[in-house]
Amino acid sequence: MLTLWTVFRKELLENLRDRRTLFSALVFGPLLGPLLFGVMVSRIVAENTGAARQRVALTVVHGERAPDLLAYLTAAGARLRRAPFGARAARAAVVRGGAGVVLIVPRDYPRRFARSEPARVLLVADSADNATRGDAARAGALLQSYASSIAQRRLQVRGVDPLIAAPVTIDSIDVASASARAVSVIGLMTYFVLFAVLMGGLYFAIDATAGERERGSLEPLLMVPIARGALVGGKILATCAAMATSLAICLAAFLGVLHTLSLERLGMRSDFGPLMALEFFAICLPFVPLGAALMTFVASFTRSYREAQSYVAAVLLVPTLPIAFASIYSLRASPAWMFVPSLSQHLLMTNLLERRPIGAIDVLVSAASSLLVALVLFVFTERQWRRESMLG
């Protein structure tokens, strides 16, 4: 026990003096996720809410041929711009980009309009261009509504009830996009939390194993009469401390980020408060020893710092796999999934975010299975450290 504490203290002290390790444990690891999350979510919020209020921008060629239409569009809030080019150049201008959506009023429009014949206008847009696709759709809808308002007026003039021309009206209520986005955003958040756990201990784990070997301090260390279990345990514990710190910083950062974002507009409730952050911490804490033991185990087989970096970085992908699996198959928390570490933490956190109840037994199973895997990994690591090949 004393040895464990001695090793733990030394690993902590040594790594606290290493700027790179400290940066990855206290800054990069825990803050990358929340910042990325903040940027992504604020973009989604801007797209979803800002766009609705945005006015349609249209470039009009020969608008003088349809003053009534232009007046209607302006009244409907469209921003109109006179085209600096002719009808023939319009297509090329749209392809080049910059012209946005172009409305062309052909030469015969006034004549056909006056005779109540179908009068053609041309709407030129690039459907592959994300920036103007919304404009094109909204411009199309505006033109459609102008056309039907004209139709109604003509019917009225001819003494026909305009309602006859509207046998069915459609009101569509879209609930998909907001909630679908919310689910993917939540998936990201839980992933970033688990990422922060692993990233926080990355360099601790490498330094305690491959670093020890690369410095040449491993051989004298292995000559000291101490139990390898205490040695490995102390190293894993130090990595755990770094991971838990990273987790706490990450959750605090998420508190800040979610506080400044307006998730409600996405149909998500942002009740991720201090209490839920604590619950997240408790849910993820059993994942900490698992991550620390896993990284230490993998790094124990590597010969150098560089080699360890590439192998242990692959371990960072571990939490993504179950989460990707979960989002592809839209998994919901069920007792069976609680046996799968990282997936269980993801599902439990998702449930909390969506305000669905979680069972105490689920939390216990999730924690127990994670700790069990951690224990197995610890045993394997200790065995590897007892082997001669450790010296390399």
Partner 1 sequence: MIEARGLAKRFGAIDAVREVSFVAGDGRITGLLGPNGAGKSTSLRLICGVLAPDRGAARIDGIDVAGAASAARARLGALPHSAGLYGHLTGRENIAYFGALHRIPAPRITREIDRWRERLDMTDFLDRPAKSYSQGQRVKVALVRALVHQPRNLVLDEPTNGLDVMAIRALRGVLEELRTEGRCILFSSHVMQEVSALSDRIVIIGGGRVLADDTPAALRVRSGTTTLEEAFLRILADGEREDEAPDGGGAAARC
Q: Which residues bind partner 1 (CB under 8 A)?
A: 2-3, 6-7, 10, 13-15, 17-18, 215-226, 388, 391
Closer by beta carbon to partner 1, 1 or else 360: 1
- Residues 209 and 238: their CA atoms lie apart, in Å, by 12
Per the CB < 8 A criterion, the answer to whether 63 and 286 are in contact is no
Q: What tokens does 261 get?
A: 């974002």
Q: Which helix (H) or strand (E) holds 82?
A: strand 79-82
| Residues with Cβ within 8 Å of residue 19, at least 6 apart in sequence | none
> Considering just the CA atoms, what is the radius of gyration of the chain in Å?
31
Closest CA to 240 of 197, 281, 189: 197
Closer by beta carbon to partner 1, 15 or else 344: 15
- Residues 219 and 271: their CA atoms lie apart, in Å, by 52
- Minimum CB separation from partner 1 for residue 298, in Å? 22
- Minimum CB separation from partner 1 for residue 215, in Å? 4
Closer by beta carbon to partner 1, 222 or else 372: 222
- Minimum CB separation from partner 1 for residue 224, in Å? 5
Closer by beta carbon to partner 1, 169 or else 389: 389
Closer by beta carbon to partner 1, 7 or else 196: 7
- Minimum CB separation from partner 1 for residue 200, in Å? 18
Q: What tokens does 330 get?
A: 């839209």
Closer by beta carbon to partner 1, 6 or else 369: 6
Closest CA to 319 of 236, 204, 199: 199
Q: What tokens does 342 get?
A: 């990282």
Q: Which helix (H) or strand (E) holds 103?
A: strand 101-104
- Minimum CB separation from partner 1 for residue 230, in Å? 9
- Minimum CB separation from partner 1 for residue 274, in Å? 35
- Minimum CB separation from partner 1 for residue 15, in Å? 8
Closer by beta carbon to partner 1, 212 or else 362: 212
Q: What number of other Cβ atoms are within 10 A of residue 388's Cβ? A: 7
| Residues with Cβ within 8 Å of residue 264, at least 6 apart in sequence | 270
